[in-house]
Amino acid sequence: MKTILYIIQKEFKQIFRNKGMLPIIFVLPLLQLVILSNAATFEVKNIKFGYIDKDHSSTSRALVEKFNASTYFNVLTDFPSEAIASAEMLKGEIDVLLQIPQYFERDLQIEKYANLGITINAIDGAAAGVENVYVNQIIQRFNQNIKMDVLQVSDKQVQPIAVETIPLFWYNKTLNYKTFMVPGILVLLVTMITLFLSGMNIVREKEIGTLEQINVTPIKKSQFIIGKLFPFWVIGMGLLTIGLILAKVIFDVPMLGSLTLLYFYTSIYILVILGIGLFISNFTDTQQQAMFIAWFFTVIFILMSGLFTPIESMPKWAQTLTEFNPIRYFVEVMRMVMLKGSGFNDILPQLLKTALYAFVMNGLAVWSYKKTT
């Protein structure tokens, strides 16, 4: 026990003396939280909207006006020809192109039917999907008005039966994207810093030769590892605390569940990450190698965590893979506890899987750490 304290003391001294590392530990993650939470949004706004109006009627102008009135669209220009409009889309100057054919108004009134052409730049498929929905909503609403107008003058008995859906958004009533993202970004921050620091720490001692000096002392493997990893566990918990405070103060993210539960889960989660970090440093000889491997896994873990893209929309095999992704569980728990107020029993599956993961990873790490080669 005393031995462990000596190591912990030494580690903390070294961490706080490392002037290059301190800002990385404490300032960068917070910048990350503030910047990413504001920037990583799937809301599609400021859609560049162009149109070709061949009808030049009051109805066609009213339709364009509908788009103009929407906050999502920046109505640009009336293009004289399709060729010019296509060229503009190729250059990325417009996202959505609406083509209103000739006799649009006449067809609507006489045939009660008219075609509209919509072209959407779908390089970003997700954004294109959202744009499509917006465009359809506007056109449908416009359609309703037209029907009313037409009906007033014709047969009153054929009343349209309008079926309207009123969506209710639970847990994030205003669909505030930040409420959704901040807990996730907080996960990233805690994970990346603890993984990189722990992964590079032991390998650094290998590089400078002090690990050999440690290996000739009678220190036990477990003592050394606990002493080495404990400081990073503390840093991880510290980052969570700072992150939660910022989430509340800057983003006003709700905290419906129990803070104690969140801390309890995180305390186990960090063990997983530290185990992975140690495992990496056992198999590498330089900090660069360790960093590279840690980075590789972080990117995969993040992209497959459900943080940015929902796990439900991944292919089956990918969904199975995410079962092995610790970040996935942390993201889930974080969102469940903070936004839904989930309790101990709700997060029990995640908690058990994480605990098992921690046990396996640290077992592997201790096993693969060799004092004698």
Provide the binding-site residues for other proteins, judged by CB under 8 A.
Answer: 2-3, 5-7, 9-10, 13-14, 17-18, 208-210, 212-219, 371-373
Q: CB of 5: closest distance to other proteins in angstroms?
A: 8
Minimum CB distance to other proteins smaller for 2 or for 156: 2
Sheet architecture: strand order including 73-78:
73-78, 47-53, 96-100, 117-120
Q: CB of 206: closest distance to other proteins in angstroms?
A: 11
Taking Cα atoms as reference points, which of 281, 240, 230, 268 lies closest to residue 358? 268
Q: CB of 194: closest distance to other proteins in angstroms?
A: 21
Minimum CB distance to other proteins smaller for 10 or for 141: 10
Minimum CB distance to other proteins smaller for 82 or for 207: 207
Q: CB of 216: closest distance to other proteins in angstroms?
A: 4
**Within a 10 A sphere around the Cβ of 313, how many other Cβ atoms?**
9
What letters, b where the CB count within 10 A reaches 16 and e where it falls short, cover 4-38?
beebbeebeeebeeeeeeeeebeeebbebbeebbe
**Within a 10 A sphere around the Cβ of 299, how many other Cβ atoms?**
10
Q: CB of 313: closest distance to other proteins in angstroms?
A: 48
CA–CA distance, 113 with 109 (Å, rounded to integer): 8
User: Which residue pairs from 86-94 have beta carbons closer than 8 angstroms and sit at least 24 positions apart in sequence?
Assistant: 88/50, 89/50, 89/119, 89/121, 92/121, 93/48, 93/50, 94/48, 94/49, 94/50, 94/121
Identify the sign of the CA torsion 9, 12, 16, 20: positive
Minimum CB distance to other proteins smaller for 225 or for 351: 225
CA–CA distance, 17 with 334 (Å, rounded to integer): 33
Minimum CB distance to other proteins smaller for 112 or for 220: 220
Q: CB of 23: closest distance to other proteins in angstroms?
A: 17
Minimum CB distance to other proteins smaller for 201 or for 342: 201
Minimum CB distance to other proteins smaller for 65 or for 212: 212
Q: CB of 286: closest distance to other proteins in angstroms?
A: 15
